Amino acid sequence: MREPGTSDTAFERFVVPEIEILLRVAHSVTRNHAEAEDLVQDTLLRAYRGIATFDGQHPRAWLLTILRNTNINRNRRQRPELLRDPDRAADGLAAVASDERTDAAIDAELDAEIGNALDALDERFRSVVELVDIDGLTYAEAASVLGVPAGTVMSRLHRARTRIRDRLARTGLAPRSRM
């Protein structure tokens, strides 16, 4: 695909435009801004060293695989106590303004309950929701991050959304009927 001896150009063409999505995914993976930035920096370094052998196809998937492997290596080196807390409180949820119209209040309640349902998911389900529905990755890209087949991403994603939907139904925020 590429001319030989154009590593720097390839790096600027294929890698630099992906920095923002790498940072977003790194944040989903680490849940910490500083760690996410460190992880992306290490990923860039490895990408730079490997760019000469990259064929120019699917740069995002290639970079996400590097990010995943880099993160695995970092976790091996680092403290187990920094593994994420599954009981962490929901954050970033907008407060509900009491004087909003009813529709807006219901929307806010729905959003809050979806946040609660997301937090209640097992890690393997929550991670696919974060990567696909929140970060906007394709199934294949999320598969690169998680190191699982794209079909597994799809089935986990569907089950995760079904659990969120069932929780909404239990709280009366979604229809109870199932097809």
Partner 1 sequence: MIRALMMRLMGRKPPGGIDCHAVGKLLQQYLDGHVDGDQAQRIAAHLEDCRRCGMEAETYERIKTSLADRRHEVPAESIERLRDFAARLVRGEEPHQP
For position 174 contacting partner 1 by CB under 8 A, the verdict is: yes
For position 97 contacting partner 1 by CB under 8 A, the verdict is: no
| Range list of H helices, the chain | 7-10, 19-30, 33-50, 59-77, 102-120, 123-128, 139-146, 150-170
Tell whether the torsion through CA atoms of 146, 148, 149 and 151 is positive or negative. Answer: negative
Residues in the chain: 179
Region 111-130 residues binding partner 1, contact defined as CB under 8 A: 111, 114-115, 118, 129
Distance of alpha carbon 127 from its chain centroid, rounded? 6
What is the nearest approach in angstroms of partner 1 to the Cβ of residue 71? Answer: 12
Q: Tell me the C-alpha distance between 134 and 127, whole Å.
A: 10
Region 31-70 residues binding partner 1, contact defined as CB under 8 A: 33, 36-37, 40-42, 44-46, 48-49, 70
Which residues bind to partner 1, rule: CB under 8 A? Answer: 8, 11-12, 15-16, 19-20, 23-24, 27, 33, 36-37, 40-42, 44-46, 48-49, 70, 92, 110-111, 114-115, 118, 129, 133-136, 154, 157-158, 161, 164-165, 168, 174-175, 177-179
